[in-house]
């Protein structure tokens, strides 16, 4: 088959710009999504013959040797893989599935074993970065899988990402993504609370941000969210509140599996669960600041 053709299942907030990035780098994308608007958005402005669509995952597998999944969670990945018209039963020897969403590591390993039983491979390759980085093809991508699978996946991954980090065996990338996002969430929560306390004291929040960024409190939230999204009131960092809660829950499953008493993780999960209940899952994750401001 044409190695420049890539199946792409899941054209959501991140998946759409990632698929567009592949098109911009000369790949032919066979898309699959239930949304008419998402399909139209991918086709819009694409060179002739660069984009086509399949009615279901099985049809994607019939036409592409490499299939990217960019789906919200493990439950939906399982539906796409195991459900009617699913990908798993249509896999052929030599095929590669790249799960780029934020899935449960144990479920990732299960699906990798099922794919291997059909002579195919599955790697986990979750991403780190905002929608803006997806648009420019500069995401950071973690990859779990063996050498042969990585070699096949790498050209496709470099069509969407800038930093490619191998993490070990299948499932390790999804585990590291969840733990990374827990650390980010803790930093964002601390930043939001510091800004709320500074506000209560009448401090200049811009200067407080400068102090944190020049000092030991510096983190990705102080650098890219404090002034840009929180102080401005824009709250549009590019990552949904509900997705952050999901990643924290995945980290919680790792804590349970390992028997580690992760107290700070439990606190973050509680705060994000409360924020999702109050604000809904689709608002931006930086609105955790608005949520804690309302808790008086």
Confidence of residue 132 (pLDDT cuts 50, 70, 90): confident
The pLDDT value given to residue 131: 86
Which pLDDT score, from 0 to 100, does residue 296 have?
A: 46
Q: What is the pLDDT of residue 257?
A: 92
Q: Which residue has the tokens 């929180």?
A: 230
pLDDT of residue 64: 95
d(CA 100, CA 174): 9
Q: Residues 135, 41, 101, 53: is their CA dihedral positive or negative? A: negative
Q: Which whole-number Å values give the CA distances from 268 to 23, 180, 246, 272, 277, in the listed order?
A: 38, 13, 12, 6, 14
Residue 230: half-sphere exposure toward Cβ, Cα within 13 Å:
31
pLDDT band with cut points at 50, 70 and 90 for residue 130: confident
Residue 115 pLDDT > 80: yes
pLDDT score for 294 = 76
pTM as predicted: 0.91
Residue 136 neighbours by CB distance under 10 Å: 13
Residue 253 has pLDDT above 90, yes or no: yes
Task: Give the pLDDT score at 2.
Answer: 54
Nearest to 9 by CA among 125, 98, 119, 137: 98
- Identify the CA nearest to 238 among candidates 128, 131, 102: 131
Query: For the segment 261-296, what is each residue's pLDDT rounded down to a tens digit?
Result: 999 999 999 999 999 999 999 999 999 999 999 754
Catalytic residue among 177, 225, 246, 295: 177
The pLDDT, as a whole number, for residue 3 is 63
Residue 80: other Cβ atoms inside 10 A: 23
pLDDT of residue 203: 98
Domains annotated for the chain, with CATH where assigned, are 5-168 (3.40.50.720), 175-294 (1.10.1040.10)
The model's pLDDT over 171-214, given as tens digits with 9 standing for 90+, comes to 999 999 999 999 999 999 999 999 999 999 999 999 999 999 99
Predicted local distance difference test score (pLDDT) of residue 24 = 95
Q: Phi/psi of residue 129, each to 5°? A: 140, 165
What span, in angstroms and rounded, lies between the C-alpha atoms of 213 and 194? 13
Look up 152 and say whether it is catalytic: no
């Amino acid at each position: 088959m044409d190695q420049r053709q890539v199946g792409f299942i899941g054209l959501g907030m991140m998946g759409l710009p990632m698929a567009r990035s592949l098109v911009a780098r000369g790949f032919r994308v066979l898309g699959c999504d239930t949304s008419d608007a998402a399909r139209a958005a991918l086709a819009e402005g694409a060179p002739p013959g660069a984009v086509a669509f399949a009615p279901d995952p099985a049809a994607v597998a019939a036409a592409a040797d490499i299939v990217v999944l960019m789906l919200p969670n493990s439950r939906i990945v399982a539906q796409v893989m195991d459900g009617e018209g699913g990908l798993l039963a249509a896999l052929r020897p030599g095929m590669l599935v790249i799960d780029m969403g934020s899935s449960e590591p144990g479920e990732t390993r299960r699906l990798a074993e099922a794919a291997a039983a059909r002579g195919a491979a599955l790697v986990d390759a979750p991403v780190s970065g905002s929608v803006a980085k997806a648009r420019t093809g500069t995401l950071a991508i973690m990859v779990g899988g063996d050498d042969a699978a990585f070699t096949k996946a790498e050209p496709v991954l470099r069509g969407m990402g800038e930093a490619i980090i191998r993490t070990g065996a299948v499932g390790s990338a999804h585990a590291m993504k969840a733990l990374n996002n827990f650390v980010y969430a803790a930093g964002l929560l601390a930043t939001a609370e510091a800004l709320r306390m500074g506000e209560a004291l009448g401090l200049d929040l811009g200067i407080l941000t400068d102090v944190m960024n020049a000092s030991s409190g510096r983190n990705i939230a102080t650098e890219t969210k404090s002034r840009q999204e929180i102080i401005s009131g824009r709250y549009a960092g590019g990552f949904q509140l509900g997705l952050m809660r999901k990643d924290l829950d995945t980290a919680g499953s790792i804590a349970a599996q390992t028997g580690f008493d992760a107290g700070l993780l439990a606190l973050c999960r509680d705060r994000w669960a409360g924020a999702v209940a109050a604000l809904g899952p689709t608002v931006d994750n930086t609105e955790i600041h608005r949520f804690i401001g309302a808790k008086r």
